[in-house]
Amino acid sequence: MKKITLGVEGMSCAACSSSLEKHLNGKEGVASASVNLVMANATVEYDENALNQADIEKFIKEAGFKSTGLFVLKDESKLHKTQKILLIAYGVLTVVLLYLTMGTMIGLPVPDFLNMHKSPIVYTAVLFGLVVFYLAYGADIFRNGIKTLWHRAPNMDTLVTIGVFSGFCYSVYVMIMIFGGHVTYVDALGTHMYVDSLYFESCAVVIYFIKLGRFIDRASKNKTKQAIKDLVQITPSKAVILSDGAEKEVSIDEVKKGDTVVCKPGERIAVDGTVTRGNAHLDESFISGESKPVSKKEGDKVVAGSINYDGYLEYTAERIGKDSTISEIVHLVVEATNTKMPIARIADKVSGIFVPVVIGIALIALVVYLFFEPIGEAVKTFVTVLVVACPCSLGLATPLAIVVSEGKCAQNGILVKKSETLEIASKANAVVFDKTGTLTYGKLKISEFFCYDVLPREKVMDYAASLESMSSHPIAAAFNSPEQVLQVENFENMGGYGISGVIEGQKVIMGNAKMLAHFDIDNDREDDERALAQKGNSIVYIVIGGKIAGLFGVNDLIKEDAKPAIRKLTERGIEVIMLTGDNQATAEIIAAELGITRVIANVLPGEKAKLIKQLKREGKTVIMCGDGINDSPALASAHIGVSVHNGTDIAMNSSDVILMSDDLNKIDNLLTVGKRTVGNIKQNLFWAFFYNCLMIPIALGALKWLGIVISPMIAGIAMVMSSLTVILNALRLRLIKFNKGE
């Protein structure tokens, strides 16, 4: 299966994205498709043996939309400026139009040659000429409306198109009657004649307010995408490389893997790489959310976009362009905004049937009004219902909130891979932590060592250090390699038990007490093990030639932020559980210091996943937090898997959330964002549904007996206000205060 994200033009409301998504998911060879209204793109997973990108783009065209190719975040500032100028120009024209049509009604002086009653033919001709300009301004709306109707996927543009052209055609009929010499003013008996039945101005004003609403929507969407854009633009456009011993400035595109790149104080790191010379403090806050400078020296990784505070660095270019950390982060964030929360499916289902139902209601109203009211009143009601029911706010309710929240999380070093994670986080009631590398730094040291006379003490230490040098487990860091590492043959990593290899012809095994039982080795050193465990040590046996040669007590350091983070989770009423492969005594000592009351120890990686599933069966919504090394099965089994990373390796793993720094307070922040986002979406959906439930009956004339009626112009204004309410509410999520720890 292959996954691509394509840009899509022509979507204006939830009905658009819903119909396109349904169309794509119904195509053979498409495994899944998700359409994002705010980002204006479609993410499609498909069988690459059956389909290609051209086929997907053809499907998009079939649905009445246009693919713009592979999705990229574009700088839309020029387009925005052009649209703003047009909006201002037509805004002035709209004021003039309203002055001509309503001036006499409110006592404003209107020149006789433009007065509707004194010069009806000139007045009508001017009105017709102006509305033609508006029809040209709204051509994109009409094209899309006709196209989606043709493809039996009506949307907001369809409603506007039908409404505007109905009013326009009726007004043309009235104009013909006026030009034919019929009475065109209000006579002495107060009878309304043709000139008062023109709806050209209503058609024009509706188009203007639809365009105004679109402009506001687009501006708001651009604001929500700003965090992602900032990441895209954070890497420099130039770099300095060493060529034949001399510094040479090149464009970022000219940097190749293996080049030696130079970074001086005040400059940004140009590409991801490894330091080969020098040392400095770098600001990596754009990916970690942490303002504290990070020390870098020879052998350390650096990330493109980091700011060099104070030192000279030379580093080897390793990850460039789309392979860079920044590109991967942007990809993850964009992909996350393209997934849907379960709550979002409510809006999708409603949008899928809403537009056809509204068209039906409007048609019924037209027929009924034709029996009891003049044709002009019937047409006005028909147009008003179609305009007032445009589901703009419904379409923005969920995606805007998601994009704002995803951007907020990304800015603070929390990468959420699927938006549904935020909804699950709002319901979480249990957080399970791995111990080593998650609650502790994983920076271990040997606190005590018992040697049992199988070999000299120095020899046992050399064997242990040489074997551990082959391992990637955090505990290996406690064993300093000897100056001359002994050759290890047949190295094997035995998950959950330990490691083994052959050194100088001797079989050497290192691991915990379970390892002894696994190899049927008699353990007569349990008293020493208990003594070490009571001091909070992790236990590592070394067996040489089938005999226990030594016992190491290894200590770990608890992270400074672990205790306050756990306290905050407990204050939320969330059960905190420690899950570890360490022995019970060691685990309980650390748990007591952290304030964790439930400890599950001596657990193999596979057993961790089973215990997570058991917690889920108990009805708990579980977040599992681990270092991503030995915790993949458990991370995948939890409702939400949270992986703690160092900020440079965010490749595929089993987690749903990646913390770009090891600050555990970010889990509390994730829960905060989850609750606020779901609450915000519920508010948006309420206002969107409330607006339509309230305005459609009013448009039908339900309150006419109270003297409350609305025209197509008022309907257009009301539609804009409803969208604006949802937009402003969603943007409040940018104000969420994140917990920075203590």
User: Among residues 114, 124, 17, which one has the least CA distance to residue 60?
Assistant: 17
What confidence tier does 711 reach under pLDDT thresholds 50, 70, 90? confident
Q: Rounded to two decimals, what is the model's pTM?
A: 0.59
| pLDDT score at 290 | 53
Distance CA 648, CA 667 (A): 20
How far apart, in Å, are the Cα atoms of 79 and each of 74, 76, 82, 353, 550? 10, 5, 5, 33, 72
CB atoms within 10 A of CB 439: 28
The phi, psi pair for 479, rounded to 5°, reads -100, 105
- Backbone dihedral angles phi then psi of residue 436, each to the nearest 5 degrees: -70, 125
Q: Is the pLDDT of residue 152 over 80?
A: no
Catalytic residue selected from 157, 259, 348, 434: 434
CA-wise closest residue to 141 among 210, 220, 215, 92: 210
At 502, the pLDDT band (50, 70, 90 cuts) reads very high
pLDDT at 541 over 90: yes
How far is Cα 346 from Cα 366, in angstroms, rounded to an integer? 30
Q: For residue 509, what pLDDT is reported?
A: 93
Which residue would you say has higher pLDDT here, 482 or 366?
Answer: 366
Distance, C-alpha 580 to centroid of its chain: 32
Q: Residue type for 524, please? A: D
Q: Rounded distance, CA 604 to CA 518, Å?
A: 13
Distance, CA of 252 to CA of 157 (rounded, Å): 43
According to DSSP, the β-strands at 622-626 and 640-644 are: parallel
The per-residue pLDDT for 351 is 63
Specify the pLDDT at position 652: 40
Closest CA to 734 of 264, 405, 498: 405
Q: Where are the alpha helices (DSSP H) in 482-524?
A: 513-518
Confidence of residue 650 (pLDDT cuts 50, 70, 90): very low
In this predicted model, what pLDDT tens digit does every residue of 623-642 receive, in sequence order?
988 875 567 677 878 888 88
Question: What mean pLDDT is predicted for residues 195-209?
Answer: 74
> What is the pLDDT at residue 648?
40
Task: Write out pLDDT tens, residues 77-134.
Answer: 666 678 788 888 888 888 888 788 777 666 677 787 777 777 888 888 888 888 888 8
Across the chain, what does the average pLDDT equal? 79
Between 591 and 407, where is the model more confident?
A: 591
Query: Which one has a higher pLDDT value, 267 or 19?
Result: 267
Please report, rounded to a whole number, the percentage of residues in the chain having pLDDT higher than 90: 8
- Written as six digits, the tokens of 546 are 């089938």
Q: For residue 104, give the H/E element and its range.
A: none
Please, what's the largest Cα pairwise distance for the chain? 123
Looking at residue 196, the DSSP 8-state letter turns out to be: G
Give mean pLDDT, residues 596-617.
83
pLDDT tier at 234, thresholds 50, 70, 90: low
How far does the chain reach from its first CA to its final CA, in angstroms? 45
Q: Region 131-152: what's the mean pLDDT?
A: 81
Given a contact cutoff of 8 angstroms between Cβ atoms, the answer to whether 535 and 462 are in contact is: no
Nearest to 225 by CA among 336, 387, 67: 336
Cα distance between residue 623 and residue 632, in whole Å: 13
Per-residue pLDDT of 509-540, as tens digits, reads 998 888 888 888 888 888 898 888 877 777 89
Beta strands in 580-659 (DSSP E): 598-600, 622-626, 640-644, 657-659
| Residue matched to tokens 């005590």 | 448
Phi and psi (nearest 5°) for 182?
-75, 165
User: Which range has highest mean pLDDT (208-222, 430-444, 562-576)?
Assistant: 562-576
How many CA within 13 A on the CB side of residue 191? Answer: 8
Q: What domains, with CATH codes, occur in the chain? A: 2-72 (3.30.70.100), 79-226+335-402+681-733 (no CATH), 236-322 (2.70.150.10), 414-437+559-666 (3.40.50.1000), 445-555 (3.40.1110.10)
pLDDT of residue 630: 60
pLDDT at 225: 56
Looking at per-residue pLDDT, the higher value among 714 and 395 belongs to 714
Based on the residue annotation, tell me whether 434 is a catalytic residue of this protein: yes
pLDDT in tens, 656-687: 787 777 788 889 999 999 999 889 888 888 88
> Which of these, 60, 67, 53, lies nearest to 19 by C-alpha position?
60
